[in-house]
Each structure stands twice: as C-alpha cells, then as structure tokens.
C-alpha cells in the first residue's frame, strides 16, 4: 500500500509539473501574440558571406503587402538571444509595427562567429526592408547594449534606409561602433539606466549620472552644455533629433523595465508614421516573462518525480539504496568548511574566469569564450575543494572510521562501473524528459523557458556538439560538489538520523549560492550608493546573477537524488547535463568555424 501511495504522489507531482508548463506556456503564448492579434514567425535568411541568420518576425493582424506597416529591427546584447528583446518586440507589435527580433551572428541560432558582419545588424536591416509588408519609409532600429552597436553598424552601411534608432544601454563610438555626431545616427534616443554597469565603457563616465557632462555625449547631442534628461534636441524632420532617457534600473534591467520599454515606444511613436497610437504606459509583456518562468519551474519540478519513478523500474531499481552512515564534519569543523564553501567561489569568480579566457582561447573544441571562463571557474573550484576535502579526510576523518563509501562514492570499498553507468543513463533520461517539455513548448507555444537573465533554450545540432565538449569538465565539478555537500557537509539530528529534506535543501542551497549573493550585494549596493562597481567587472557581474537561481536548483537536485540513491552520481550527472545544456545553448560562439 505504501508503494502504491508513493506512486500516486509521484504521479500527482508529475501532473502538477506538466500543468505548470502548460499554463505558463499558454500565458506566455497568449501574451506574445497579444491575444492572437500578432503572428510570430521563426525565420532564417542568408546574410553576408553565406552566414545563416535567425530571427523572430512579429506581424500584426491586417498587415499585408497591400497594407504595409512600419518596421522595427530589435537586436539583443552580447551573450543574449532574440527572445531577450521580447518586451520590446511584443509592445512594438501591439502598436501595429512589424518587428524583426534578430539573433546576432554567433548567438542563438545564427551562424558564428560572434562580432562578424557588423554583429548581423546590416543583414537584419536589409532583410527587414526586403519584406513587402514593411513600409520602407518608416523603418527604425532598437538595440540593447551590443545590439545598439549592431544597429549602428546597420546605420553606417545603410545610412538612408532607416528613420530612427533607439540605443538601450549602449553608445556610439564604443568598440566596433562608429563615432556619433549631431547629424549621425539619424533621430536617436538614448535610454541609459540610472545604475548601468557599463557607463565607463560606453561613455567614459564612472557613474551614469556623470555621462551628461562628457564631451562624447555633448558632441552627439550637438551642444556645449550638460545634456538634459528628457529634453528634445535637434529636429525630427531633419533627422537630427536627440533625446536622453534615464530610467531607474541597471543595464540588464532594461529588458524588464516598463519605464525603459515605454521610453523606446515613445520615441518610435514620435519618429515613425503609422501604428495604432496605443499609449506607452499600456504594457502587457511582463505576463510573458511570468508565464515562461512558470513553465521553467514546471520543467525543473518534473525532474524529481520522473527520476523517482524511473528508480522504481526493474532496470534502475538497484540504484535505489539507503544513504550510508554519516561521517560528516561537525561542530567548529563544519562551520569552517561551510565558510570556505561560501567564500571560495566568490573570491575566484572573476579571476578564474578571466584566466580561462587567457589559457583556453576560443577554438574548434571549446568555441565559447564565456562558457570556457565559467568552465575554468568550475573546474578550478572543484580542484581547490577536492584538495581541501582530501586533506580533511586523510588527516582527520579517516581516523573516525570514514571511507569514501561514507561520502556516497564507492560500494563495498570499490567503484561499481555498472552502477555509475546506470546512474549516468538515469540522469540522461531525466534531463531528456525536461528537454522534451522545452521542445514541446517551443513547438506549441513558440517560447523557451526564461525570466530576465535566466534563460533555457533548445540546443541546435551545432550547439549539441559544443555541449559534449564542455560536459566532462562540468561533470568533474558536480561530482566533487555533490561529494562535499552530501558527505562532508551533510547534517544529521542528535540521534544520527538525517535532518528533514527541506532543511537539507536550504542548507545546501546556502552553501552553494550564498557567496555569489554576497558578492552581488557588495557590487550593487556600492553602485547604487553612488560609486562604481568595486571589482570593475560589469559583464561577469551580470553573468553572476543567473548563478543564484541555478545553484539553488543544483543544490535541490544534488540533495534529492543523493537521498534517493545513497550515492553522488545521479544528482551530479543530472546537474552536469542540465547546467552544461543551459550555458551552451545561451552563449555566443566566438570561434570562426
């Protein structure tokens, strides 16, 4: 009866997970199509030098070759993808504009390498203008961060083929972008957040509030005085209009800011003829973010009942074992180890990632610069933690009767390659179940799973090959991490029995993620207090944000499957597959294949 009740609970949990995916996907799909009034097409087109480009095309109802509409090219920033511009694309399309949300070269499903062909901006503008449903006299561009440079590259190649441009958290004159003047680019709005991390790179100002007095911005606005926020400079009719917006938020916050998105809408309505005049304040895009995040939660939740049900099958049943007797650290030793677990990842976060790019430049084997940096950070932390763990075990804990079986590594004094292989297969099956949900959501709802900087995409066949190359290094890290979390750091009650599952979840989540949380708090509290980022690493700081939820998920998976199998392998393999897939599918490819 107990087994039957367990099966019912697992099926109920799996059903709940599926419901979350369906409800979340439905909300996201309904929002991005504006209740069915906008058609979204996944398009591919050939760019410069035979580069295959990818984009999402938003076409409002009633727009035809006989009734063309204004067109807007929307371009994401570095290491993002076409879906990152959803907020802008959804709201532009709701106002009757045709929107082409582009994957930059080397990003998403566009061919590598990144940075090639003006980031793909000129190709995107040319393709948009080639559509007979677009009013060629009313074409504009919007680009966030490096997407702004892609837009400027398009403006440089085709100076007469656009009417207006919005730079979100971007600049003229930055690397790869042309210098701006009072006449070029045409009719430009600059939306730059109050705490944008890139003010030094973009405008040569330590703080965004100081950029209004820089010569670079004053030259762009055609004035010798400090640039005024919200003031219209120049003439829209002459193509020399300029306006600075400074919404509250950070660089990546522009994606989820009603104020920043509203600023872009306002500028398009000022400079383009056409559209339905829907006020900038009327926005619904955030329901798409909520829906796709609910679907993401459902997919992660699905891992747990699927894995448990598979463990009840005759093939995987031998993996379902009790946890070994605890030989974990206790007392002061536990707190010292916990402090090191929190501090080491934060202290090495920037240094190891930067060294990774020096030691392993982009190649055909490891072609993603950012992924290589994260991999180096993970492997470096794995080596440090493993060394400390081995010192603790051989110098202290072995005298207490601890063996590697106590940490969930061995069986009867040795490794069982059959069980390790089955653990890998089990993890692959569980990950495949989540991947299937993502593919179905992509097919049915035309969405991926995301919230702000957190984004999980299906892999292309090309990305799958990259995934395989990075999988082994990440697997090493997660094996070490699982051994430490569930062996050395495992907590028990006074009678020696395990603590409650939720307490174990929360403790392990804190051990993995707390250091990154503290690092981010130091960075952003300093920035919001009126001083630059202490470590002056804006890109890696932003990358660090997504690791807070990711490491919490890792902790839950590691803890749960250790309790179900009594060994570190299934949870470690599942985490390695999931995190490697997550990173590779969302990163840029820098190597020119």
Q: Is residue 547 within 8 Å of 518, Cβ to Cβ?
A: no
Same structural domain, 240 and 325: no
- Taking only Cα atoms into account, the Rg of the chain, rounded to an integer number of angstroms, comes to 26
**Which pLDDT band, with edges at 50, 70 and 90, does 536 fall under?**
confident
Domain shared by 251 and 367, yes or no = no
- 292 and 253 housed in the same domain: no
The answer to whether residue 12 is domain-embedded is no
Q: Of the residues 212, 245, 273, which one is the last residue of a structural domain?
A: 273
19 lies in some domain: no
Q: What domain count does the chain have?
A: 2
- Would the CA dihedral through 423, 429, 432, 433 be positive or negative? negative
Residues 484-509 have a mean pLDDT of: 93
Predicted local distance difference test score (pLDDT) of residue 494: 86
**Alpha carbons 164 and 234: distance in angstroms, whole number:** 13
CATH of the domain at 56: 3.40.50.1820
* 27 part of a folded domain: no
> Which 8-state DSSP code applies to residue 315?
T
* 327, pLDDT greater than 90: yes
Pair 411, 352 in one domain: yes
**Lowest mean pLDDT, pick from 16-25, 171-180, 340-349, 445-454:** 171-180
Q: How far apart, in whole angstroms, are the C-alpha atoms of residue 550 and residue 502?
A: 17
Q: Is residue 532 part of a domain?
A: yes
- Kindly state whether residues 259 and 339 are assigned to the same domain: no
> Looking at the predicted structure, is the pLDDT value of residue 1 above 70?
no
In a domain, 162, yes or no: yes
Q: What integer pLDDT is reported at residue 2 of this predicted model?
A: 64
Q: Are residues 235 and 380 in the same domain?
A: no
Do the beta carbons of residue 95 and residue 278 sit within 8 Å? yes
Q: What is the mean pLDDT of the chain?
A: 96
State the pTM of this model.
0.96
Domain boundary among 273, 296, 331: 273
Same domain, 305 and 440: yes
Residues whose CB falls within 8 Å of the CB of residue 82, separated by 6 or more in sequence, listed in order: 54, 55, 56, 76, 101, 102, 103, 108
Q: Is the pLDDT of residue 535 over 90?
A: no
Mean pLDDT, rounded, for 15-19: 98
pLDDT at 115 over 80: yes
The domain of 389 spans 288-586
Residue 468 in domain? yes
Query: Which H or E run includes 168?
Result: strand 164-168
Is 492 domain-assigned? yes
Alpha-carbon distances, residue 207 vs 129, 171, 193, 533 (angstroms): 38, 15, 10, 9
Q: Of all helices (H) and strands (E), which one includes residue 514?
A: helix 501-528
Q: Are residues 567 and 488 in the same domain?
A: yes
182 with 295, same domain?
no
Domain boundary among 273, 302, 318: 273
Q: Is it the case that residue 334 has pLDDT exceeding 80?
A: yes
**pLDDT on residue 490:** 95
Banded model confidence at residue 304, pLDDT cuts 50, 70, 90: very high
Question: What is the full DSSP assignment across 342-364?
Answer: HHHHHHHHHHHHHHHHHHS-S-S
User: What's the pLDDT band for 495 if we cut at 50, 70, 90?
Assistant: confident
198: confidence class by pLDDT, cuts 50, 70, 90: very high
Whole-number Å distance between alpha carbons of 56 and 61: 16
pLDDT (tens digit per residue) in 514-523: 999 999 999 9
Residue 75 domain flag = yes
Residues 262 and 321 in one domain: no
Pair (148, 245) in one structural domain: yes
Q: How many CB atoms lie within 10 A of CB 458?
A: 17
Q: Are residues 143 and 82 in the same domain?
A: yes
């Amino acid at each position: 009866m107990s087994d039957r009740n367990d099966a019912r609970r697992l099926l109920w949990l799996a059903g709940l997970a599926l419901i979350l995916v369906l409800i979340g996907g439905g909300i996201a799909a309904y929002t991005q199509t504006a209740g069915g009034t906008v058609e979204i097409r996944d398009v591919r087109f050939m760019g410069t030098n035979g580069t295959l480009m990818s984009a999402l095309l938003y076409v409002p109802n009633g727009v035809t070759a006989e009734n063309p509409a204004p067109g807007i090219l929307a371009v994401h920033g570095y290491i993002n993808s076409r879906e990152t511009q959803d907020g802008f694309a959804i709201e532009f399309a709701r106002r009757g504009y045709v929107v082409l949300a582009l994957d930059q070269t080397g990003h998403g499903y566009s061919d590598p390498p990144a940075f090639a062909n003006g980031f793909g901006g000129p190709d995107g503008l040319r393709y948009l203008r080639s559509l007979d449903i677009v009013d060629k006299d009313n074409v504009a561009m919007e680009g966030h961060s490096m997407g702004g440079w892609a837009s400027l590259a398009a403006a440089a190649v085709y100076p007469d083929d656009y009417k207006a441009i919005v730079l979100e958290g971007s600049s003229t004159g930055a690397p790869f972008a042309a210098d701006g003047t009072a006449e070029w680019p045409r009719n430009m709005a600059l939306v730059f957040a109050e705490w944008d991390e890139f003010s030094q790179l973009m405008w040569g100002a330590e703080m965004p509030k100081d950029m209004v007095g820089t010569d670079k911005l004053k030259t762009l606005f055609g004035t010798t005085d400090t640039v005024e926020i919200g003031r219209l400079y120049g003439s829209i009719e002459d193509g020399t209009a300029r306006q600075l917006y400074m919404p509250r938020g950070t660089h990546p916050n522009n994606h989820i800011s009603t104020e920043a998105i509203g600023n872009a809408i306002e500028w398009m309505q000022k400079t383009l003829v056409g559209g339905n005049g829907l006020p900038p304040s009327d926005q619904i895009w955030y329901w798409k973010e909520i829906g796709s995040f609910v679907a993401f939660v459902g997919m992660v939740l699905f891992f747990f009942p699927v894995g448990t049900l598979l463990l009840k099958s005759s093939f995987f049943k031998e993996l379902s074992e009790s946890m070994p007797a605890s030989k974990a650290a206790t007392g002061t030793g536990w707190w010292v180890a916990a402090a090191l677990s929190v501090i080491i990842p934060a202290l090495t976060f920037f240094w190891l990632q930067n060294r990774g790019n020096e030691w392993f430049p982009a190649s055909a084997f490891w072609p993603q610069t950012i992924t290589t940096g994260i991999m180096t950070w993970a492997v470096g932390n794995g080596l440090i933690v493993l060394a400390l763990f081995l010192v603790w075990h051989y110098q202290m804990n072995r005298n207490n009767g601890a063996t590697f079986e106590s940490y969930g590594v061995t069986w009867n004094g040795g490794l069982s390659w059959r069980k390790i292989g089955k653990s890998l297969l089990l993890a692959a099956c569980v990950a495949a179940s989540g991947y299937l949900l993502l593919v179905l959501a992509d097919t049915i709802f035309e969405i991926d799973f995301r919230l702000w900087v957190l984004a999980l995409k299906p892999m292309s066949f090309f990305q799958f090959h990259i995934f395989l190359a990075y999988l082994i290094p990440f697997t090493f890290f997660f094996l070490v991490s699982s051994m430490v979390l569930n062996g050395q750091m495992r907590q028990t009650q006074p009678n020696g029995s395990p603590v409650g599952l939720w307490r174990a979840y929360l403790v392990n989540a804190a051990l993995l993620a707390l250091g990154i949380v503290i690092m981010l708090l130091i960075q952003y509290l300093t920035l919001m207090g009126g001083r630059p980022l202490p470590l002056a690493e804006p890109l890696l700081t932003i990358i660090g944000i997504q690791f807070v939820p990711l490491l919490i998920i890792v902790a839950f998976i590691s803890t749960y499957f250790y309790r179900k199998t009594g060994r570190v392998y299934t949870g470690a393999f599942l985490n390695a597959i999931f995190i490697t897939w997550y990173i590779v599918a969302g990163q840029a490819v820098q190597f020119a294949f």
